[in-house]
Amino acid sequence: MILFPNAKINIGLNITERRPDGYHNLETIFYPVNIKDALEVVESDELTFTSSGLDIPGRAEDNLCVKGYHMLKKDFDIPPVSIHLHKNIPIGAGLGGGSADAAFFIRLMNEQFNLCISVDEMTGYARRLGADCAFFIENKPVFAFERGDEFETIKLDLSAYKIVLVMPDIHISTSEAFSGIKPTPVKDSLLELITEPITEWKKHIKNDFETSIFKNHIEIRGVKAALYEAGAIYASMSGSGASVFGIFDHTPDLGFLETDNEVFYL
């Protein structure tokens, strides 16, 4: 069976406090976007993992799909499988690509081997693999809170707009990004701010990672400024970076960004 795990963007990201477990409480909007990997699972004599497309740092046994397999194997009588991942979603980008693969792997195994795992249980399994992994089980726009793994569904439909995603040649790991953060409580919750017209978002909706990441990587700040100059209604770095997205009411000409960055018109 083949599934196509998609990326997400974060619209707003407030990191509010450090938790005793070493994680941070945060609030953000997760919104699914149309940039996808391809994930294939075939029953086999032994567990194997191969990949094509973008290079994935780290060993195959540390891939989140393989971790997902071992996690499920403890609780279910599943056969060995050959996993093939074609990687297209940029890595170290704040797009949750690895988390999407892991969540789609759980969904795929559930369907392929009739494991009868409920959506709530799949969400629980996904949460064990990574904070934003749980979002990709239902894969609908949500307000996320606590570690970013508790959700409230929101009505948000950006299909009338053009979303452009720009990936500079810089990769930032999530833990590196958290090291530059001083948590701050929020005045106005994103759950309220997101209901304002998109034209108002620029004034109030921010990503707390931008301050420290922009200080260390001035090029990323430049990409965001360029998106606003090109007419974006709203632009922001996604998650812990390094990708930046712009929301437009038309398809912009961003040819000038394409020499130094990868640009996706979604």
Ligand X SMILES: C[C@@](CO)(OP(=O)(O)O)[C@H](O)COP(=O)(O)OP(=O)(O)OC[C@H]1O[C@@H](n2ccc(N)nc2=O)[C@H](O)[C@@H]1O
Q: Is 67 noted as a catalytic residue in this protein?
A: no
Least distance from C-beta 42 to ligand X, angstroms?
27
Applying CB under 6 A, the site for ligand X has a residue count of 20
Among 3, 6, 12, 24, binds ligand X (CB under 6 A): 24
Contact 240, 171 (CB under 8 A): no
> Which residue do the tokens 């997400």 mark?
8
Which 59-118 positions form the footprint of ligand X (CB under 6 A)?
A: 94, 96, 99
Q: Which residue is nearest to ligand ADP (CB)?
A: 98
Q: Which of 145, 151, 178, 248 binds ligand X (CB under 6 A)?
A: 178
Asked if 13 contacts 125 with a C-beta cutoff of 8 angstroms, the reply is no
- Binding interface with ligand ADP (CB under 6 A): 56-58, 63-65, 85, 91-98, 101, 173-174
Placement of tokens 């990769």 in the chain: 171
Q: Closer to ligand X at the Cβ: 32 or 239? A: 239
Residue 242's nearest CA partner among 90, 48, 75 is 90
C-alpha span between 256 and 22 (Å, rounded): 41
The closest of 201, 176, 149 to 26, measured between CA atoms, is: 149
Token pair, residue 113, equals: 């081997």
CB 39 within 8 A of CB 85: yes
Which of 37, 87, 101, 132 is catalytic? The answer is 132
Q: Please identify, among the stretches 19-27, 38-46, 66-74, 200-208, the one whose residues bind ligand X according to the rule CB under 6 A.
A: 19-27
- Whole-angstrom distance, CA of residue 155 vs CA of residue 125: 26
- Write the DSSP symbol of residue 207: B
Site membership for ligand X, residue 26 (CB under 6 A): yes
8 is catalytic: yes
Of 86, 147, 162, 202, the one binding ligand X by CB under 6 A? 147
131 binds ligand X (CB under 6 A): yes
Q: How far is CA 42 from the centre of its chain?
A: 26
List the one residue from 32, 148, 168, 246 that touches ligand X (CB under 6 A). 148
Query: Using omega within 30 degrees of 0 as the cis cutoff, is the peptide bond preceding 242 cis?
Result: yes
Least separation in angstroms between residue 127's CB and ligand ADP is 15
Does 32 carry a binding-site annotation? no
Residues marked active site are found at: 8, 132
* Residue numbering of the annotated binding site: 90-100
* Residue numbering of the annotated binding site for ATP: 90-100
